[in-house]
Amino acid sequence: MKKIAVVLSGCGVFDGAEIHEAVLTLLSIDNNGAQYQCVAPNVWQRQVVNHLTQQMSDEMRNVLVESARIARGEIKDIATVKASDFDAAIFPGGLGAVTNLSDFAAQGENCQLEASTLKFARAMYDAKKPLGFVCISPVLAAQICDAGVKLTVGNDEEVSKKLKAMGATPEDCSADNIIVDDEHNIVSTPAYMLGKGPAEIYQGIEAMVRHILLVA
Q: What are phi and psi of 176, to 5 degrees?
A: -95, 15
147 HSE (CA, 13 A, CB side): 4
H or E element at residue 159: helix 157-165
Which helix (H) or strand (E) segment holds residue 117: the answer is helix 115-126
Question: Is 135 among the residues known to form the active site?
Answer: yes
- 174 vs 102: CA distance, rounded Å: 25
Looking at 111, 135, 145, 173, which residue is catalytic? 135
Distance CA 159, CA 156 (A): 6
List the catalytic residues: 135
